[in-house]
Amino acid sequence: MKEKGSKDGKEKKARFNRESFKKSLQLYKYIKPYRGEFAVGLVFLLLSSAANLAFPKYLGELVDATNSEAIFENIQEISLILIGILIAQAIVSFFRVVLFINVTEKTLASLRQATYQHLIKLPITFFNQKRVGELNSRISSDISLLQETFTTTLAEFIRQLVIIFGGIAILLYTSPKLTLFMLAIVPVFVLLAVFFGRYIRKFSKEAQKRVAESNTVVEETLQGIYNVKAFANEFLEIARYRKETNDAAKIGMKSGKYRGAFSSFIVFGMFGAIVAVLWQGVNLVAAGDLKIGELFSFIIYSGFIGGSIGGFANVYASIQKAIGATEELMEILDEPTENLKEVQSHQKLEGFKGKVEFKDISFAYATRSDQQVLNKVSFTAHPGEQVALVGPSGAGKSTVVSLILRFYEPSSGSLLFDDQLAENYGLSEIRNQMAVVPQDVFLFGGTIRENISYGRPDASEEEIIEAAKQANAWEFIGSFKEGLDTVVGERGIQLSGGQRQRVAIARAVLKNPSILILDEATSALDSESERLVQDALDKLMLGRTSIVIAHRLATIRKADRIVVLDKGRVAETGTHDELLQNDKGLYHSLSELQFTH
């Protein structure tokens, strides 16, 4: 059994390595548009490597020229050749670096754009399982690692291969006996490089993961800095970050020990090999089988080859690290996206009225598939109606809204818009008919103008101002020195809660949706702000199908229909007055709790 388990483990590891390599090859499609420049860069790289190989040969001839009769002429000629090689190498190295950097920058720009484009099209279910810091690390750190690989590591890898194999070919031509003697030692280093590279890759990938986790701590802490300070948890967050970075450092140091031990062994073995080759070479010179200049060249070539093999472990480890980063990126790019298409914000579905109907809808989140959040929920919101969703916390109100926005698909039952199945509409098309005003408004860190126009990016200044007026926001906007160009700060922190809500309402007004979703938009406001916001909401809801999540029942007394949810089921449906008449109903109980306190 033990043997079988070991065999299965090896097969799994081999498959994993092959799979990793396949994933890395997917990068080719981003390089493909620039393959011409890349090919020219490779030619220059090969020429540069060839110049490196030519240099020791002529140095050896320079040594042998001292024993010739025409010593002065030979030295002059060989010196000119060496200067020519140096000039040629400088020129081709310049163009190689420029071309590789150009290709890398354009390739990585395409890769960043493709990754972000793919990421933003992924469904909400993906983001529920990932942390922002981790995803940010994938786009920034991992792609930066690939930048180093394309500009430096890949060129170094090819250069070392050319030097190793080209050098061995030249040495075989110079002295087969001495070359075979040297090659008896070299394979040991190659095998060790591959063996250690696997270990180094494992540690490097784990270190990357730890760094991503530490980045997540930073991002979450800075996003929630007010909570951190309000709860006096600065030192708790410092400790969290210290732990994550220390863990990353420990893994890095453990990897460093392996790399250090390997490098030390390579250096020791390389110089030992040179001494052994020199000893054998002197014997061949004494026997007349080799010239002094050839031995001189041979030693330099051996040093080149040994140095390349010694550095091969680091290059190999860097490539493995890049493969690890590529894997992480490709895992994101392999995730299925939502079926979206670009639509203009002002484009409306012809004849769309905004009727919303739930027919026996049941739903459970993928992470809690055994727990039904909604159980055969049915209700209808007719065009222009205001339908309120009420119920205890966890009753399923927010899930209903998420299904209307089609962030998730029902486990069973049907969602209909204008008597058509939701699946008959494109996601972008149907979401373009909706606007959401949440309880916790998110504003981008730009200006008020940018945040309002997010509802319709092509809106004119007059339309933005009119939307702000309808949202009761123009008065406070006009009081700011910069007006619409006032910067709201991170998440809108420069504005009060009521001001943020009214900017969000102005955004919804500008979008002019057929279906409006309000998630208790006034619950966290003071009385004056609530009055202004509620007045703006009342104007916004006119003539639109409005789905309102309500915790404060006073805000939905005028609703056309109230759907009372309890434990994922529809407990009651009716108007405010109708539901109050049922003194044993849940709505009556909730109403008593709120209005008697």
The secondary structure of 135-188, three-state, reads HHHHHHHHHHHHHHHHHHHHHHHHHHHHHHHHHHHHHHHHCHHHHHHHHCCHHH
Per-position pLDDT tens, the chain of length 597 = 444 444 444 443 433 456 665 666 667 777 788 888 888 888 888 888 777 777 677 666 666 655 555 455 566 776 787 788 788 888 888 888 888 888 888 888 888 888 888 888 888 888 877 777 777 777 777 777 777 777 677 777 888 888 888 888 887 887 788 778 777 766 566 566 656 666 666 776 777 777 777 788 887 888 778 788 777 888 888 888 888 888 878 877 877 777 777 677 666 766 666 677 778 777 777 777 777 777 777 777 777 776 777 676 677 777 777 777 777 777 787 788 877 777 665 567 777 888 999 999 999 887 777 788 899 999 999 998 999 898 888 888 888 988 998 988 898 999 999 989 988 888 888 888 888 888 777 888 788 888 888 888 888 888 888 888 888 888 888 888 888 888 887 766 778 877 888 888 888 888 888 898 888 766 556 666 677 777 777 888 888 898 988 877 777 888 889 999 888 888 888 888 888 888 777 878 887 776 654
> Length of the chain in residues, anyone?
597
pLDDT in tens, 486-533: 888 776 677 887 788 888 888 888 888 889 888 876 655 666 667 777
CA distances in angstroms from 525 to 137, 231, 531, 533, listed in the order given? 36, 22, 9, 9
What CATH code would you report for 354-433+546-597? Answer: 3.40.50.300
Residue entry with tokens 């469904």: 123
Q: Which CATH class is domain 19-333?
A: mainly alpha
Bridge partners (DSSP) of residue 564 are 390, 572
- At residue 45, the pLDDT reads 83
- At residue 16, the pLDDT reads 43
| pTM, rounded to two decimals | 0.66
pLDDT in tens, 304-363: 776 777 676 677 777 777 777 777 777 787 788 877 777 665 567 777 888 999 999 999
Q: In terms of Cα–Cα distance, which of 186, 385, 409, 380 is closest to 277? A: 186
Q: Pinpoint the residues of the chain covered by CATH 3.40.50.300.
A: 354-433+546-597
